[in-house]
């Protein structure tokens, strides 16, 4: 079981780009797990948090009722592999569901 978990964790390699959305510079980071590495601060902690989440990169399901809350202009793109599967996810803070989705993985967006 431990070997299987290690293989799943090792199959994580992500690139992260976070734009402040106000004309500021986009920040970039990388994260690998098994062993933890990359340029993301606190990579080991990020790997542990990711491993605990179910479908952290899934989009908001269609027809979901969401509050009309604007959380900010920030946009983040996460690409690579997670648990051996291709990831290509975009996060924003436009609407309650998107803000909640952002907050769930916000530890990935602390690129400095």
CATH number reported for the structural domain that contains residue 11 in this entry? 3.30.350.10
Distance CA 99, CA 102 (A): 5
The predicted structure's pLDDT at residue 2: 45
Range of the domain at 79: 2-57+67-109
Kindly write down the DSSP assignment for every residue of 31-86, as one continuous string: EEETTTBSSSTTHHHHHHHHHH-SSTTPPPPTT------EEEEEEEEEEEEETTEE
User: What number of residues does the chain have?
Assistant: 112
Q: pTM of the prediction?
A: 0.87
Q: In this structure, what token pair is assigned to residue 68?
A: 């009309």
For residue 62, being part of any structural domain is answered with no
Specify the pairing of strand 85-94 against strand 12-19. unpaired
Task: With respect to residue 22, please indicate whether it lies within any of the assigned structural domains.
Answer: yes
Is residue 102 situated within a structural domain? Answer: yes
pLDDT by 10s per residue, the chain, length 112: 444 444 445 589 999 999 998 888 999 999 999 899 999 999 999 999 999 999 999 999 999 999 999 999 999 999 999 999 999 999 999 999 999 999 999 999 986 5
pLDDT at 112: 59
Q: Are 72 and 22 in contact (CB under 8 A)?
A: no
Three-class DSSP category at 51: helix
């Amino acid at each position: 079981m431990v070997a299987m978990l290690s293989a799943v964790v090792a199959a994580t390699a992500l690139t992260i780009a976070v734009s402040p959305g106000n004309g500021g510079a986009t920040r970039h980071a990388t994260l690998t797990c098994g062993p933890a590495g990359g340029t993301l601060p606190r990579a080991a902690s990020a790997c542990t948090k990711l491993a605990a989440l179910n479908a952290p990169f899934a989009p908001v399901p269609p027809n979901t009722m969401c509050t009309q809350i604007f959380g900010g202009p920030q946009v983040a793109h996460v690409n690579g592999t997670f648990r051996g599967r291709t990831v290509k996810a975009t996060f924003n803070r436009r609407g309650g569901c998107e803000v909640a989705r952002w907050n769930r993985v916000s530890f990935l967006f602390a690129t400095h």
